[in-house]
Structures are given as C-alpha cells and as structure tokens.
Amino acid sequence: MSTLLKIDVSTRGSLSISRQLSSRFVEQWKKGNSAGKVIERDIATTELPFLELPWIAANFSKASARTDEQSVLLKFSDDLVAELQQADHYLIATPMYNFGIPAKLKAYVDHVVRAGITFRTNADGSYTGLLTGKKATVIIASAGEYTPGEPAEGLDTLKPYLHEILGFIGVIDVTFLQSGSTWKVDNGSETADAHIAPLNEQLMAAASA
C-alpha cells in the first residue's frame, strides 16, 4: 500500500494557490492508489516551537540515557519523523516568503532532520540520508517568477534549499512545480482555475508517477 504525506504550509485557506494545487494532486494520486493512505500534516495549524536548549540537549543524548522529561520533549518530533518514515511520497505545498521557505516550514525541518534517525554521520565525516526509497513533489506558490536562466532565478533560495535538505535526509527523487504570478489571482485579473491550468499536465504527471 502506498502512503502519501501531504504537507501544506499556506495560512490562506481556500485562497491559497499552493493548497488548491495540492488538493488536485491528491485527487489524482488517489485515482492511481485507491488502496493508498494519505497522511495530512497541516503546518499552518500545527504548533511548531523553535528548537530551544532543552530540546537540543535531549536530541543529542543517547536514547537510552534520556530522562522521561527529555523523551516527552522529543515526542512531537518523533511523531513527525514517524509520518516521514511511513510515507513513500511526500507532497510539500508551500508559499515563497522573502525568497525562501516560510519560517514555520523551517521549524518543521528543524524537528525532522535528526542525527541517527533521518541522517547519519559516517566515520569519515560524510553524511548519509536515511529516508531512502522515497520521492517528493514540491509545489511552490509565489508572487514573482523565478524562471531558470532569468536574472530573478538567483533570488530563489527556496528551491535550492529544499532540494539540498531533502537530499540530505535521503530524498533525491524530487519534482518541483512552481506557480508564479499568483498576484493575478489575488487582484482578480485571473481566476484560480485559469491560473492553475498551465500546470495541470505537470501536476497530473507528478501525481501519477
């Protein structure tokens, strides 16, 4: 049975372009995976504390040496990691904020990139990602366009970052879909359906892969 982990980030509810795209993706995915399971992780409504010293101390203590308090502190992170371990396809739908990922998505990343669990350090100092055999589809909504080869491409830290961090934990099969110029929907000069239409083929292909 295939499992899809759907991670939505936008706070804009039904106005969100990334959420509209992720919903369509799931509809299509379900057609090809009728017995499959979808885990929904809504970052916008998930309380994601920034990492503080007690959490860091707990994380870097050996599991066998942790106090009960430390285990409780890590429980939420353990649950998030379990979702990643269970799923074979990750769908991350996120807005671009200030040329990068929203802080809440970064907080999520900080909770799931864990030594000995989602990556390991080798004797020679290199790293090996432990979430192997997975694939990811990343849907990005942005007001600007960051077309490859155009000058604005260099401003985009979102795609390179997610590409690197997913690779770091072992996810190397990553497809990016970007919906730029979302301001046209916000100001009413384009309907959401018309805006999304050019991405449909790519979206359906990623959801059917």
Ligand X SMILES: Cc1cc2nc3c(=O)[nH]c(=O)nc-3n(C[C@H](O)[C@H](O)[C@H](O)COP(=O)(O)O)c2cc1C
Minimal distance in Å, beta carbon 45 to ligand X?
Answer: 14
Q: Which amino acid, residue 95?
A: P
> If binding is defined by CB under 6 A, does position 191 make contact with ligand X?
no
The answer to whether residues 1 and 8 touch, using CB atoms and an 8 Å cutoff, is no
Buried b (16+ CB within 10 A) or exposed e, 116-141: ebbbeeeeeeeeebbbeebbbbbbbb
Q: Judged by CB under 6 A, which of 99, 119, 161, 168 binds ligand X?
A: 99
Burial class (CB in 10 A: 0-12, 13-18, 19+), 107: middle
Q: Judged by CB under 6 A, which of 29, 80, 95, 118 binds ligand X?
A: 95
Q: Judged by CB under 6 A, which of 39, 144, 157, 163 binds ligand X?
A: 144
Question: Which parts of 96-197 are beta strand (E)?
Answer: 119-121, 127-129, 135-141, 173-179
Task: Give the per-residue contact string, 2-31, with ligand X (x = CB under 6 A; - = no).
Answer: --------x-x---xxxx------------
Binding segment (CB under 6 A) for ligand X, from list 36-44, 57-65, 135-143, 194-202: 135-143
Q: Judged by CB under 6 A, which of 48, 74, 80, 141 binds ligand X?
A: 141
Give the DSSP letter of residue 201: H
Minimal distance in Å, beta carbon 65 to ligand X?
Answer: 41
Q: Judged by CB under 6 A, which of 63, 72, 115, 143 binds ligand X?
A: 143
Q: Judged by CB under 6 A, which of 44, 46, 61, 97 binds ligand X?
A: 97
What residues between 29 and 88 interact with ligand X by CB under 6 A?
Answer: none
**Contacts for 70 with CB less than 8 Å, ≥ 6 apart:** 54, 57, 58, 61
**Residue (92 or 169) nearer to ligand X, CB:** 92
Q: For ligand X, how many residues bind (rule: CB under 6 A)?
A: 16
**Residue (9 or 81) nearer to ligand X, CB:** 9
Tell me the sheet residues that pair with 174.
136
β-bridge pairing 127-129 and 119-121: antiparallel
Element (H or E) spanning 94, and its range? strand 89-95
Question: Which spans of this chain sit near ligand X (rule: CB under 6 A)?
Answer: 10, 12, 16-19, 95-99, 141-144, 182
